[in-house]
């Protein structure tokens, strides 16, 4: 049996962090009682010979690494004055739940994870590693989907909604407190749907700033009848709190088929005249203007006037 | 802040150990493939495991990890008999991969049952995460099949910016969904170059009986706009009410002020910029760009005639 200290490469620093964090995790998993920072400092290899400050910075960083790995570290006060804290990792809480996937299911998920990007990387593959690796012999299919960026906020929101924790964040300049009911990807954006004191609301996740997740779990119940799919509108001009206005639009033959497809209508042979319910006038006018001069709002007259106003506004500057 | 690479290395080590422990020993090739290792990375990580263990850190306290006869062997590491739980980001990543693949019309009983198991284990209720990626099932499906079978397709395409409709033959390398739209990337025989087409603007598709050779490395395209040689640019002043433009268009912010921004807007055709300027009305102002200005005037006059 080979034994003997392996040769060190150049990556001393990184190598040290990895060894230290592994030793720390083993210590936390094996301790039958909460351990203090001092216990760690004088017991776990890699922390000795540090000044007080350097040790505390190192320990904080390493705990953060463990959290990012999914390790649930519990922290509890060891005295009533909360001077000294003890840390534990419960082996049962640490361990991955076996999802009992069979071989075909693992292959199917491996293919899916290779197709889908979230936050610029294939996050599903990282999950599969923990679940026993990515299945072999799975080639890349020539099809992919990019679900956009911002994976960290999404992950935090997903964590909050699975644990039924309230969240607070800044949105369009004001603070919001929301009970997260669900998240949805539609039209290329991620949305959060949830309950507030003013009623049910939907938020664009990429506009959420300074997200904070409350500590208390199971702090609310999702209303049984709440329908997330119904809460998020299909078209941008259906979003908004304004009254619904019926607009009539005429599309020229060259673009009529495309407008019909967007609206879910059957494709016309010639021009298309469509009646469209609108809640968000601004988004709607923007969409019609994306057809250039090949589409015309026929009614209502106020919307025609708004288009004229914009044309004149843009040309006079 | 510890780097992502350090965290990834640790994540892989903590996944590898339980996998080998459960089986006693595993062939090196299997580990390399399932965990995405190179042989060098694998021996480096095993060497690392080999020097870690319980306090005392004597020979009897450390883990065993080495390669013997093309087999990876790990022992004396019972505390790592199971991998760490998924982080919420990983859980969401896997779940949304499965939901997206199903939403793309992937017909697979195994995928359906896998997603059902994931959903049950990872979500409080079945609809806590929903993903819509498909409006145009038929055309995406057709192009995807043609791409898998490496078949040339003939399409009628309406360009995004130019008001023109063309017939062309393309060799579809890959089909991809980005930010709400589906694209097909491939070799366009009309221009004899690589092109990206938005699938919702393809009016007609005919799959031809001819096969093409897919170049290496083209199955996983990243769709995104980057200005090319023939593209035009203009400068636009945005008031604070028009700042949403920076979220929706690939603009470069040239100057930020308290009451707005100046941005550089790139496009393959000045028409796109002209349409945006009209949409902005008096909340945006063209500062520079003669081609765009003349297009703006022409489009504006044409619209005023229509709306008179």
pLDDT tens track for A60-95: 999 999 999 999 999 888 887 777 889 999 999 999
B138 close to A (CB below 8 A): no
* Interchain CB distance below 8 Å, B278 and A314: yes
Confidence of residue A142 (pLDDT cuts 50, 70, 90): confident
* Interchain CB distance below 8 Å, B111 and A108: yes
A19 close to B (CB below 8 A): yes
A149 close to B (CB below 8 A): no
* Interchain CB distance below 8 Å, B307 and A91: no
Closest partner CB to B89 (pick from A108, A152, A317): A152
CB crowding A223-244: b at 16 or more within 10 Å, else e = eeebebeebbbebbbbbbeeee
Provide CB contacts within 8 A for A280, sequence distance 6+: A236, A237, A238, A239, A240, A242
| Better pLDDT: A241 or B64 | B64
Predicted pLDDT of residue A264 = 81
User: What average pLDDT is seen over chain B?
Assistant: 88
Mean pLDDT of B92-103: 91
Predicted pLDDT of residue B159 = 78
Predicted pLDDT of residue A122 = 86
User: What average pLDDT is seen over chain A?
Assistant: 86
| Better pLDDT: B61 or B2 | B61
B133 touches B104 (CB < 8 A):
yes
Predicted pLDDT of residue A152 = 80
Would residue A100 be called left, alpha or beta, if left means φ above 0 and alpha means ψ between -120 and 50 degrees? left
Say whether pLDDT at B180 is over 90. no
Which residues of B are less than 8 Å from A143 in CB distance?
104, 144, 147-148, 174-176
Name the A residues in 206-235 with CB < 8 Å from any B CB: 206, 222, 227-229
Among the ranges given (A24-28, A135-139, A270-274), the one the predictor scored with the smallest mean pLDDT: A135-139
Name the A residues in 102-141 with CB < 8 Å from any B CB: 102, 104-109, 111-113, 115-116, 118-119, 122-136, 140-141
| Better pLDDT: A223 or B40 | B40
Distance from CA of A127 to the nearest CA of B (A): 5
Say whether pLDDT at A243 is over 90. no
Predicted pLDDT of residue A280 = 83
Q: Tens of pLDDT along B203-217?
A: 899 999 999 998 887
Predicted pLDDT of residue A106 = 93
Mean pLDDT of A34-54: 89
- Give the torsion sign (CA, B261, B262, B267, B269): positive
- Chain A: residue whose CA lies nearest to B1: A61
* Separation of alpha carbons B142 and B205, rounded Å: 8
Name the B residues in 243-282 with CB < 8 Å from any A CB: 247, 271, 274-275, 277-282
* Interchain CB distance below 8 Å, B100 and A19: no
* Separation of alpha carbons A156 and A183, rounded Å: 11
Say whether pLDDT at B143 is over 80. yes
Predicted pLDDT of residue A9 = 46
* Interchain CB distance below 8 Å, B128 and A155: no
Three-state DSSP class for residue B164:
coil
Say whether pLDDT at A317 is over 70. no
B228 close to A (CB below 8 A): no
Confidence of residue A1 (pLDDT cuts 50, 70, 90): very low
* Interchain CB distance below 8 Å, B158 and A258: yes
Say whether pLDDT at A5 is over 70. no
Which residues of B are less than 8 Å from A44 in CB distance?
55
Distance from CA of B20 to the nearest CA of A (A): 10
Distances in whole angstroms, Cα of residue B306 to Cα of each of A294, B129, B275: 10, 44, 15
State the helix-helix crossing angle for A12-30 and B39-50, rounded to 10 degrees. 50
Mean pLDDT of B298-308: 93
A240 touches A200 (CB < 8 A):
no
Q: What is the pTM of this model?
A: 0.80
Which residues of A are less than 8 Å from B170 in CB distance?
none
Which residues of A are less than 8 Å from B49 in CB distance?
22
Closest partner CB to A314 (pick from B34, B113, B281): B281
* Interchain CB distance below 8 Å, A308 and B57: no
A299 close to B (CB below 8 A): no
* Interchain CB distance below 8 Å, A142 and B218: yes
CB crowding B29-53: b at 16 or more within 10 Å, else e = ebbbbbbebeeeebbbbbbbbbbbb
Three-state DSSP class for residue B4:
helix
Look up tokens 């089986």; give the residue: B23
**Strand-pair category, A209-213 with A199-204:** unpaired
Q: Tens of pLDDT along A94-115?
A: 999 999 999 999 999 998 998 8
Predicted pLDDT of residue B160 = 64
Predicted pLDDT of residue A166 = 96
* Interchain CB distance below 8 Å, B124 and A21: no
Confidence of residue B136 (pLDDT cuts 50, 70, 90): low
- Chain B: residue whose CA lies nearest to A15: B48
Which residues of B are less than 8 Å from A116 in CB distance?
93, 96-97, 100-101
DSSP annotation of B307 reads: T
Which residues of B are less than 8 Å from A182 in CB distance?
125, 127-130
* Interchain CB distance below 8 Å, A127 and B175: no
* Interchain CB distance below 8 Å, A310 and B10: no
Say whether pLDDT at A240 is over 70. no
A184 close to B (CB below 8 A): yes
Predicted pLDDT of residue B123 = 85
Q: Tens of pLDDT along A191-203?
A: 899 999 988 888 8
* Separation of alpha carbons A245 and A295, rounded Å: 18
B166 close to A (CB below 8 A): no
Among the ranges given (A56-65, A145-154, B265-274), the one the predictor scored with the smallest mean pLDDT: A145-154
Predicted pLDDT of residue A37 = 92
Predicted pLDDT of residue B1 = 58
Distance from CA of B206 to the nearest CA of A (A): 17
A-B Cβ pairs (cutoff 8 Å, strict): 383
Confidence of residue A130 (pLDDT cuts 50, 70, 90): very high
* Interchain CB distance below 8 Å, B89 and A154: yes
- A300 preceded by a cis bond (ω within 30 of 0): yes
Mutation choice for B interface testing from A4, A21, A22, A119 by most B CBs within 10 A: A22
Say whether pLDDT at B229 is over 80. no
Say whether pLDDT at A2 is over 60. no
Q: Tens of pLDDT along B101-114?
A: 888 877 789 999 99
């Amino acid at each position: 049996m080979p034994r003997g200290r392996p040769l060190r490469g150049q990556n001393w620093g990184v190598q040290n962090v990895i060894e230290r964090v592994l030793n720390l995790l083993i210590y936390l998993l094996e301790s039958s009682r909460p351990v203090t920072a001092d216990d760690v400092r004088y017991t776990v290899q890699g922390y000795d010979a540090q000044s007080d400050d350097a040790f505390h910075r190192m320990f904080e960083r390493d705990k953060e690494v463990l959290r990012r790995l999914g390790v649930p570290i519990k922290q509890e006060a060891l005295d009533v004055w909360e001077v000294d804290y003890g840390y534990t990792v419960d082996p049962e809480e640490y361990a991955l739940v076996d999802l009992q996937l069979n071989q075909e299911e693992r292959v199917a998920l491996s293919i899916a994870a290779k197709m889908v990007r979230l936050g610029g990387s294939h996050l599903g593959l990282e999950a599969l590693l923990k679940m026993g690796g990515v299945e072999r012999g799975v080639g890349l299919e020539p099809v992919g989907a990019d679900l956009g960026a911002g994976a960290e906020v999404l992950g935090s929101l997903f964590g909050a909604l699975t644990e039924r924790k309230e969240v607070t964040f800044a949105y369009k300049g004001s603070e919001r407190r929301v009970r997260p009911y669900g998240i949805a990807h539609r039209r290329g954006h991620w949305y959060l749907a949830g309950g507030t004191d003013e009623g049910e609301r939907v938020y664009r996740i990429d506009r959420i700033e300074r997200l904070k997740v409350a500590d208390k779990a199971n702090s609310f119940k999702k209303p049984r009848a709440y329908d997330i799919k119904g809460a998020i509108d299909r078209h941008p001009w259906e979003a908004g709190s304004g009254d619904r206005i019926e607009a009539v639009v005429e599309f020229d033959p060259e673009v009529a088929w495309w407008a019909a497809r967007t609206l879910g209508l059957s494709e016309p042979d010639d021009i298309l005249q469509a009646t469209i319910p609108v809640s968000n006038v601004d988004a709607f006018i923007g969409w019609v203007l994306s057809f250039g001069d090949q589409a015309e709002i026929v009614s209502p007259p106020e919307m025609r006037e708004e288009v004229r106003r914009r044309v004149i506004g843009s040309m006079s500057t | 802040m510890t780097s992502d690479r350090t965290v990834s290395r640790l994540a892989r080590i903590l996944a590898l150990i339980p996998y080998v422990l459960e089986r006693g020993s595993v062939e090196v090739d299997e580990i390399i493939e399932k965990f995405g290792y190179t042989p060098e990375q694998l021996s480096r990580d095993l060497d690392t495991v080999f020097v870690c263990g319980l306090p005392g850190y004597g020979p009897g306290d450390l883990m065993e990890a080495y390669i013997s006869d093309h087999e990876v062997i790990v022992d004396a590491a019972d505390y790592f008999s199971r991998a760490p739980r998924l982080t919420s980001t990983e859980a969401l990543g896997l779940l949304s991969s499965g939901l997206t693949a199903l939403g793309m019309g992937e017909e697979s009983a195994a995928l359906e049952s896998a997603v059902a198991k994931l959903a049950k284990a990872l979500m409080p209720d079945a609809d806590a995460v929903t993903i819509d990626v498909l409006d145009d099932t038929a055309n995406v499906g057709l192009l995807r099949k043609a791409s898998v079978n490496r078949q040339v397709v003939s399409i009628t395409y309406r360009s995004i910016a130019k008001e023109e409709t063309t017939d062309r033959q393309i060799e579809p390398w890959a089909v991809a969904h980005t930010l709400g739209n589906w694209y097909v990337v491939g070799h366009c025989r009309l221009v004899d170059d690589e092109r990206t087409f938005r699938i919702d603007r393809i009016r007609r598709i005919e799959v031809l009986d001819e096969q093409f050779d897919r170049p290496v490395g083209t199955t996983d395209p990243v769709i995104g706009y980057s200005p090319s040689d023939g593209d035009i640019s203009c400068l636009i002043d945005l008031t604070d009410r028009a700042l949403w433009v920076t979220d929706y268009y690939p603009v470069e912010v040239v100057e930020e002020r308290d009451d707005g921004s100046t941005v550089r807007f790139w496009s393959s055709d000045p028409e796109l910029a002209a349409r945006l300027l009209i949409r902005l009305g008096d909340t945006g102002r063209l500062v520079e760009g003669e081609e765009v200005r003349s297009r703006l005037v022409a489009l504006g006059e044409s619209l005023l005639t229509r709306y008179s």
